[in-house]
Amino acid sequence: MDATPLLLNKFAGKLHLLADNGDYLPAKGFRQWKSVFWLETLNLWMIGFPITITMICQFGISSVTDIFVGHLGVIELSAITIATSVVGTFSFGFLLGMGSALETLCGQAFGAGQVHLLGVYMQRSWIILFVSCIVIIPIYIFATPILKLLGQDDDIANLAGVFCIQTIPQLFSLAFNFPIQKFLQAQSKVNAVAWIGFLALVAHTILIWLFVCIYGWGTTGAAWALNLSSWGNVVGQFVYIVYWCKDGWNGFSSEAFTDIWVFVKLSISSAVMLCLEIWYMMSIIILTGHLNNAATAVGSLSICMNVNGWEAMVFFGINAAMSVRVSNEIGMGHPRAIKYSVYVIIFQSFMIGLLCMVIVVMTKDDFSIIFTNNAALIKEVSSLAYLLGVTMILNSIQPVISGVAVGGGWQGLVAYINLGCYYAFGIPLGIFLGYTFNLGVQGLWGGMICGTALQTLLLLLVLYRTDWTKEVEQSIERLQIWGGQKVEKGTDI
């Protein structure tokens, strides 16, 4: 099976860009670099665009919830934001990270032609993530006392705790949703997932409108709309796998219960890496809850995080596409293709981030009105627009590098970098600026931006020093362990 992207096969040979083993030849001159840039753009966005649409729709479900709830009142907006941004993001980040082990294993197995392993890997991930959900449930049940212990306002914590309990069914949907997405992404079968995600978003919008606006069920209606749309999304994806993914899905297998612990170790490494990133931005919500006038402070920040989340979903899509591209090319033994892909997507991502920053700054007095008509919130959001713009620039590069890390299987190193830059540097600096210098939200956010900037610089250095030929050799060893088959470097299976 040839896993090389179609466009690369079709055009690159005519342009004399490929060596006999399918990897790029060294690009020389402007014309060849332009051709490489164009081909890599097509290859990456053929994968990345549907994934981006999927992630936008998935985030859109949460964002639509905030929009409807935000018009119920400031307390409701702050409470649901705390529930989704603290408790929800905690579980989302942990489960997405655990599921991200599939990006490494499925991507490299698919690149090496061992497609039959993908279904087994996905089922192992289902088991691991389902058990993880059971472990996480107490956080949902005791969300109210946990949030109060973290210093949140009683009214906000009480309502947030109720909402968390009501959305426990949505938690378990993630245990199946994430592995299915990684399974399909590794095979570049992402168009159907994008359509299913879009239909889930439409269904959620209709449901929450009925439950909140028509039936007047308030935040309870929002919770059940979230549960129903999330499980509808999972069912749609599973039906697609059963009927249209015959190569990777061969039915349920007892092999899913073998080598669980080895799989868990890689899953935990992936989870730690991603959780340290996602929880970093979650922590600013918690810290903001300790400021004076907490409802306004948390509400204004939540609006900014919501807007930032829309851009982040674009880069989650790019992150996943980069992971697929890197893992597939490692599996095929193409180190130069990996290097060129990284150059192209970093440049494009930076330009997208720059554009987003300009748009946010130019519309700083207007973009918050969709979430609230409270004058104090609108004014506070406007004052945070410049920090939001800088965050968007940094968030355009960092996810790309994280995608490379997942594709290459070196999540552990990134986890250590995240731990140092975020939690030993960024958060203490934010606390120092926010509380000691009384800079409030601006100080907290500014310090954390410095942590993100340091992390991005270090990851760029790691990327620059990476020997991709060595990464290919290590991938061969990994596939021998996981697949039970010997795969020679450069073999076209």
State the average pLDDT over residues 288-296. 74
Average pLDDT over residues 11-34: 75
Runs of H (alpha helix) within 333-439: 335-362, 375-383, 385-408, 411-418, 427-431
The yes-or-no verdict on residue 354 having pLDDT over 60 is: yes
What pLDDT does residue 481 have? 54
Give mean pLDDT, residues 240-255.
Answer: 87
Q: How confident is the model at residue 25 (pLDDT cuts 50, 70, 90)?
A: confident
Share of the chain above pLDDT 90, in %: 28
Type and span of the H or E element at 185: helix 168-186
pLDDT at 7: 45
- Of the given ranges (9-13, 201-205, 371-375, 398-402), which has the lowest mean pLDDT? 9-13
Q: Return the CA Rg of the chain.
A: 22
Distance (Å, whole) CA 117 – CA 283:
38
Work out the pLDDT band at 139, boundaries 50, 70, 90. Answer: very high
Instruction: Give DSSP secondary structure letters for 105-133.
Output: HHHHHHHTT-TTHHHHHHHHHHHHHHHHH
Residue, of 112 and 489, whose pLDDT is higher: 112
The whole-number pLDDT of residue 11 equals 54
Classify residue 27 by its DSSP letter.
Answer: P
Task: Provide the pLDDT for residue 276.
Answer: 79
Q: Determine the pLDDT at residue 135.
A: 93
- For the segment 336-345, the average pLDDT, to the nearest whole number, is 86
The residue that leads in pLDDT, 133 or 378, is 133
- Whole-number pLDDT of residue 108: 73
Say if residue 129's pLDDT is above 80.
yes
> Model-level pTM greater than 0.85?
no
User: Which has more confidence, 48 or 262?
Assistant: 48
157-197 pLDDT, tens digit per residue, is 999 999 999 999 999 999 999 999 989 888 878 888 899 99
Measured CA distances, 61 to 188, 207, 232, 312, 419 (Å): 24, 11, 12, 15, 30
Q: Who has greater pLDDT, 490 or 159?
A: 159
The pLDDT of residue 103: 75
Q: Render 443-469 in DSSP notation, one character per residue.
A: HHHHHHHHHHHHHHHHHHHHHHH--HH
Q: How far apart are CA 336 and CA 338, in angstroms?
A: 5
Q: Return the higher-pLDDT residue of 310 and 221.
A: 221
Domain boundaries, the chain: 6-483
Residue 239 is predicted with a pLDDT of 94
Could you tell me the pLDDT band of residue 4, with boundaries at 50, 70 and 90?
very low
Q: Is the pLDDT of residue 131 over 70?
A: yes
Tell me which of 165-169, 274-278, 486-490 is least confident. Answer: 486-490
Residues 383-437: tens digit of each pLDDT: 888 999 999 998 888 888 877 877 777 777 888 888 899 999 999 999 999 888 8
Share of the chain above pLDDT 70, in %: 93
- Say what the pLDDT of residue 484 is: 46
* Interval 5-28 mean pLDDT: 66
Task: Identify the pLDDT of residue 134.
Answer: 96
